[in-house]
Amino acid sequence: MGVLTTLALVAGGVAAATLGSKEQGKAGDALSSFSPAGFSSPGLSGSFNRNTNSFNLNRTAEGEAALSDVRGGFEGLSEEIRGLRPDVKPGFGRLTKSRIEAIRAAGSRTVGNLREELGKRRVLGSSFASREIASTEAEFGRIEEAARAESFLQEFELTRQLISDEFQSSIAGATAVLSQLNFETTLAANLSASASQQNQDISVATAEMRSAAAGGFFELAGTLFGLGGSTFGGARPSTA
């Protein structure tokens, strides 16, 4: 093989290796510039931040409004329940008042009827009439006290239940918000971990590709120059 042919082969091989190296380098650059895609949904949007190598989540206006509505709904329910508590205040609630008013009205009618009956018998001013009236009033007094005690216990239980319902409503509102925050945190962590793994895999692939490109170039160049050396050295002068 002639010198010119050898040089042509060397030049062509070097050019081909250089071109291949450049193409692989471009592919490596494309891999290294890869960025995980973001996303957008009615409630959340996300984008990858190359500076922090993590996903940034942003709650959309619709998502923020929905979460605010949920929180506001539970807060409104708590306020409504709290507003009912004065109506069942133990000993002073509507239940007690209505029962006492009914008992006193019945007592007043009964005593009035008794006075009228005693008057008809012309014994209204007698000691007998006074004892009858006092006994009737005392009986209704005992009924009233029993009603007060029973109403107190019932209103106490109602108050306790309302306090529990109000507390549960407040907790439910906070739980809804915490659940959303936990969901967003978990989602961001998973997306960031996935992006980090992708970037690590890409870095490894890019390094391997560039290493292969450089190795291929030197291997081809070495082969061609080795061939040239044997060509040039093929006609050794005789020492005879």
**pLDDT tens track of the chain, all 240 residues?**
544 454 444 455 555 445 455 555 555 555 556 667 777 777 888 887 777 777 788 888 888 888 888 888 888 888 999 899 999 999 889 999 999 999 999 999 999 999 999 999 889 889 999 999 999 999 999 999 999 999 999 999 999 999 999 999 888 888 888 888 888 888 877 887 787 777 777 777 777 766 766 665 556 555 555 544 444 444 444 444
Task: Identify whether 202 is part of a domain.
Answer: yes
Task: Identify whether 239 is part of a domain.
Answer: no
Phi, psi of 88 (to 5 degrees): -125, 25
What pLDDT sits at residue 104? 95
Task: Identify whether 240 is part of a domain.
Answer: no
Task: Domain of residue 65: give its range.
Answer: 3-232
Task: Identify whether 237 is part of a domain.
Answer: no
Closest CA to 16 of 208, 213, 202, 200: 213
Count of domains observed in the chain: 1
Strand pairing report for 54-59 and 44-49: antiparallel
What pLDDT sits at residue 203? 73
**What is the distance between the alpha carbons of residues 53 and 187, in angstroms, rounded to a whole number?**
15
What pLDDT sits at residue 149? 94
**What is the distance between the alpha carbons of residues 163 and 75, in angstroms, rounded to a whole number?**
14
Task: Identify whether 48 is part of a domain.
Answer: yes
Task: Identify whether 83 is part of a domain.
Answer: yes
